[in-house]
């Protein structure tokens, strides 16, 4: 008999989670104003809100927590991280930050000015937020296939080189301080970017003398997809692929709460020492001294160890395999999911799930609410609420994709939890026609509104 797949780790510590009743959940979600960010985590049975900072650290990472050096300057833990950044990412300079958006803040403070344009592949929401906050504009150049959940493409995160060249050609490059390539592309569904696309994007950027940066939150998951999907990479190690990926860029921002398997942390990396020096001023102002950047010494150590673990094939196979496991379960129940499955989450196509609910009634948010009521599973809307209003017209922007994201924390849940989640979603799918109306907004903030907004049932 062929041996079944089994995780390459065993569990040393467990955390109890609480089941609840449907009636309790109906009350709690109403009290939370139909915004799942407002729920107490104790009211959630399986939390698939995000894979950000929700990771289970390894025994070796916990050892780093215990042995962290808390010196203000020049801590041992900082040098441990510096070594790993050089060795694994091949990047000579970096600044630690307290998380990914802080890295964006530091980098953009050094590079961006009002009226600038930042092309990329479906910029992440905080990235877009930081760009628009500076009265600059994010231009999405992702390939069209990314926005059709029914077509299969191995690298749906790719940049459309023609779209990018049009932007580069039709603007003075003084207005384009950088291009950002998000690996994997979170907003397009955790979809990877091929090495070929990274290389060709880098060549194009070089031709126009515009620096290329990675938003590297899920760089290791991206490397896994290159290994298993792109010709010429199957016999390369993940670490070799990661080095090659980073060899094409001028720098990166990273949320260490994702692929560094840490609970907090981030960094911004540079090839150019001058730019690092320029950014250092903002790092000291917003984050902290250059060798800790808003983190404790122990966090730097855990992050350094996490970088090493997440760039191992066995870990990634188990991680991405679990995402595909949930995806296949949903698919078997007839639930419309984005394919191929991404690296960190399963994305349910809410427009196809609820074809009778208009996008103006926040279809994906409705699905998130119904799934929570059904089984205490918390997912998140990646759709109209997240897209925010158009800063010029003040009107809702309707993105092509209206998705419910079920993000899986790293090394946290078992496949029984995945079975439970698929079954709960299946139950909502069965009763979908009995759900007649969506939601409306009662209160919202001017930017990044999805975190704090309040809604009502129509």
Ligand X SMILES: *Cc1c(COP(=O)(O)O)cnc(C)c1O
CB of 254 to ligand X, least distance (A): 8
CB of 452 to ligand X, least distance (A): 16
* Distance set, CA 148 to CA 282, 340, 363, 396, 399 (Å): 40, 11, 17, 21, 12
* Distance set, CA 458 to CA 35, 267, 439 (Å): 15, 43, 5
Whole-angstrom Cα distance, residue 431 to residue 73? 59
- Is 72 annotated as catalytic? yes
Near ligand X in 209-228, by CB under 6 A: 215, 217
* CB-based closest residue to ligand X: 100
Contact residues for 273 (Cβ-Cβ < 8 A; gap 6+) = 92, 93
Smaller CB separation from ligand X, 219 or 420? 219
Report DSSP letters for 287-340, one per residue.
T-STTTTT--HHHHHHHHHHHHHHTSHHHHHHHHHHHHHHHHHHHHTT--B-SS
Near ligand X in 111-130, by CB under 6 A: 124, 126-127
- Is 396 annotated as catalytic? no
Near ligand X in 46-75, by CB under 6 A: 52
Binding mask 392-421 for ligand X (x = CB under 6 A): ------------------------------
From the candidates 130, 248, 276, 450, give the one annotated as an active-site residue.
450
Number of residues that bind ligand X (CB under 6 A): 15
Whole-angstrom Cα distance, residue 395 to residue 409? 34
Near ligand X in 254-283, by CB under 6 A: 255, 257-258, 266
- Is 42 annotated as catalytic? no
Long-range contacts of 324-333 (CB under 8 A, 24+ apart): 325/415, 325/418, 326/406, 326/408, 326/418, 326/421, 326/422, 329/418, 329/419, 329/421, 329/422, 330/422, 330/425, 330/426, 332/422, 333/422, 333/425, 333/426, 333/429
Piece of 96-104, 162-170, 206-214, 372-380 that binds ligand X (CB under 6 A): 96-104
- Is 349 annotated as catalytic? no
From the candidates 47, 51, 116, 125, give the one annotated as an active-site residue.
125
- Is 450 annotated as catalytic? yes
101 touches ligand X by CB under 6 A: yes
Rg from Cα positions in the chain: 21
Binding mask 171-210 for ligand X (x = CB under 6 A): -----------x---x------------------------
Residue 423 structure tokens: 């079954």
- Is 341 annotated as catalytic? no
Cα maximum dimension of the chain:
63
CB of 129 to ligand X, least distance (A): 10
Whole-angstrom Cα distance, residue 401 to residue 50? 18
CB of 104 to ligand X, least distance (A): 7
From the candidates 116, 160, 215, 259, give the one annotated as an active-site residue.
215
- Is 140 annotated as catalytic? no
Active site residues: 72, 124-125, 215, 217, 258, 450
| Interface contacts to ligand X, rule CB under 6 A | 52, 99-101, 124, 126-127, 182, 186, 215, 217, 255, 257-258, 266
């Amino acid at each position: 008999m062929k041996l079944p797949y089994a995780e390459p780790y065993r569990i040393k510590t467990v955390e109890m989670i609480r089941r609840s009743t449907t009636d309790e959940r109906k009350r709690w979600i109403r009290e939370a104003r139909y915004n799942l960010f407002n729920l107490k985590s104790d009211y959630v049975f399986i939390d698939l809100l995000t894979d950000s900072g929700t990771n289970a650290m390894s025994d070796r990472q916990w050892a780093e927590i215990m042995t962290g050096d808390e010196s203000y300057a020049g801590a041992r833990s900082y040098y441990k991280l510096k070594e790993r950044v050089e060795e694994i990412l091949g990047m000579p300079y970096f600044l630690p930050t307290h998380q990914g958006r802080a890295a964006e803040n530091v980098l953009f403070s050094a590079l961006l000015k009002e009226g600038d344009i930042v092309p990329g592949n479906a910029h992440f929401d905080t990235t877009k937020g930081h760009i628009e906050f500076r009265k600059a504009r994010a231009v999405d150049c992702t390939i069209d296939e990314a926005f059709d959940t029914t077509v299969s493409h191995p690298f749906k995160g790719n940049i459309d080189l023609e779209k990018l060249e049009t932007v580069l050609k039709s603007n003075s490059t003084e207005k384009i301080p950088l291009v950002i390539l998000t690996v994997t592309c979170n907003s397009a569904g955790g979809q990877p970017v091929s090495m070929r696309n990274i290389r060709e994007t880098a060549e194009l950027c070089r031709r126009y003398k515009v620096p290329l940066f990675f938003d590297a939150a899920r760089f290791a998951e991206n490397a896994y997809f290159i290994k298993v999907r792109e010709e010429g990479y199957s016999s390369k190690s993940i670490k070799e692929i990661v080095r090659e990926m980073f060899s094409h860029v001028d720098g990166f921002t990273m949320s260490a709460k994702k692929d560094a398997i840490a609970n907090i942390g981030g960094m911004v990396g540079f090839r150019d020492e001058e730019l690092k020096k320029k950014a250092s001023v903002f790092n000291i102002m917003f984050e902290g001294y250059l060798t800790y950047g808003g983190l404790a010494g122990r966090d730097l150590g855990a992050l350094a160890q996490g970088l090493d673990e997440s760039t191992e094939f066995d870990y990634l196979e188990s991680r991405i395999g679990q995402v595909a496991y949930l995806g296949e379960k949903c698919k078997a129940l007839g639930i419309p999911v984005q394919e191929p499955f991404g690296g960190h989450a399963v994305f349910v196509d809410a427009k196809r799930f609820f074809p009778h609910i208009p996008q103006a009634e926040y279809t994906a948010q409705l699905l998130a609410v119904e799934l929570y009521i059904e089984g205490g599973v918390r997912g998140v809307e990646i759709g109209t609420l997240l897209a925010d209003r158009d800063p010029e017209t003040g009107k809702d922007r309707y993105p092509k994709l209206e998705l419910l994201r079920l993000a899986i924390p790293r090394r946290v849940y078992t496949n029984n939890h995945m079975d439970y989640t698929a079954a709960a979603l299946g139950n909502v799918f069965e009763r979908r026609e009995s759900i007649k109306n969506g939601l409306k907004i009662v209160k919202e903030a001017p930017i990044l509104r999805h975190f704090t907004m309040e809604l009502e049932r129509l």
